[in-house]
A = this chain, B = another copy of it.
Amino acid sequence: MAATREHEAMSALLALIASGRAVTRTELAAVCGLSRSTVTQRVNRLLDAGLAVEHGSGASEGGRPPTVLALAPGSGVLLAADLGATHARLAVAGLGGEILAESSEDLVIDHGPDRVLGRVRDGWHGLLASLDRGARDVRGIGIGVPGPVEFSTGTVVRPPIMAGWDGFRVPAFFADHRAVPILVDNDVNLMALGEHRGSRAAEDSLLYIKIGTGIGCGTVTAGRLYRGSAGAAGDIGHIRLPGHEQVVCHCGNTGCVEAVASGAALVRSLRAGGLDVATARDVARLAVDGNTAARRALRVAAQQIGEILAAVVSFHNPGCILIGGAFTALGDEVLAEIKAVVYSRVLPLATRNLRIEAGPLGDRAAIVGAIALAQEHALAPGALVRLFG
Contacts and interface: CB of A to CB of B under 8 A. Distances in A.
Interface of A: 5, 8-9, 30, 33, 148, 157-158, 203, 205, 217, 221-222, 226-236, 238-243, 245, 251, 253, 255, 307-308, 310-312, 314-320, 344-347, 349-350, 352-354
A217 B320 CA distance: 21
Contacts of A234: 315, 317
A277 B315 CA distance: 30
Given A235-B350, A350-B230, A354-B229, A240 B317 contact: no
A229 B203 contact: yes
Given A228-B316, A229-B203, A349-B148, A311 B239 contact: yes
A184 to B, nearest CB: 16
A228 B307 contact: no
A316 B253 contact: no
Contacts of A308: 311
B231 A205 contact: no
A319 B245 CA distance: 28
B317 A315 contact: no
Given A235-B315, A251-B347, A240 B310 contact: yes
26 contacts: A5-B30, A5-B33, A9-B33, A158-B349, A203-B229, A227-B317, A228-B350, A229-B317, A230-B349, A230-B352, A231-B349, A232-B317, A232-B349, A233-B315, A233-B317, A234-B317, A235-B350, A236-B315, A238-B314, A238-B345, A239-B315, A240-B242, A240-B310, A240-B311, A242-B245, A308-B311
Contact of A310 (B239, B312, B349, B350): B239
A316 B317 contact: no
Contact of A8 (B8, B33, B354): B33
B221 A205 contact: no
B318 A315 contact: no
A367 to B, nearest CB: 25
Contact of A312 (B9, B203, B315, B317): B315
Contacts of A243: 242-243
Closest A-B pairs by Cβ, 3 of them: A228-B317, A229-B319, A242-B242
Contacts of A233: 315-317
A301 to B, nearest CB: 18
A49 B368 CA distance: 51
A203 B230 CA distance: 13
A158 B350 CA distance: 13
Contact of A226 (B221, B230, B242, B350): B221
Given A33-B5, A226-B221, A228-B316, A238 B353 contact: no
A198 B35 CA distance: 37
Contacts of A236: 314-315
Contacts of A316: 228, 233, 315-316
A236 B312 CA distance: 9
A301 B8 CA distance: 50
